[in-house]
Amino acid sequence: MKYQSQNFIISCFAVILILSGVSIRISASLPLPDYIYRFI
């Protein structure tokens, strides 16, 4: 049970890292509209 919750936290952290990397890549290629700043 302890290992399962730790694994869940690690997977959530990995998803956050992937999403932030994707958003950085998109923002590097596109000028950022105002709604993305509001979303962040």
Quick: pLDDT tens for 2-11.
778 889 999 9
CA torsion sign for 29, 39, 17, 14 is negative
pLDDT confidence bin for 38, thresholds 50/70/90: low
Could you give the CA distance from residue 7 to residue 13 in angstroms, rounded to a whole number?
A: 10
Domain ranges for the chain: 1-39
Q: What is the pLDDT of residue 17?
A: 92
Q: What is the pLDDT of residue 12?
A: 92
Q: How far is CA 20 from CA 15, 17, 26, in A?
A: 9, 5, 10
Quick: pLDDT tens for 9-36.
999 999 999 998 888 877 776 666 666 5
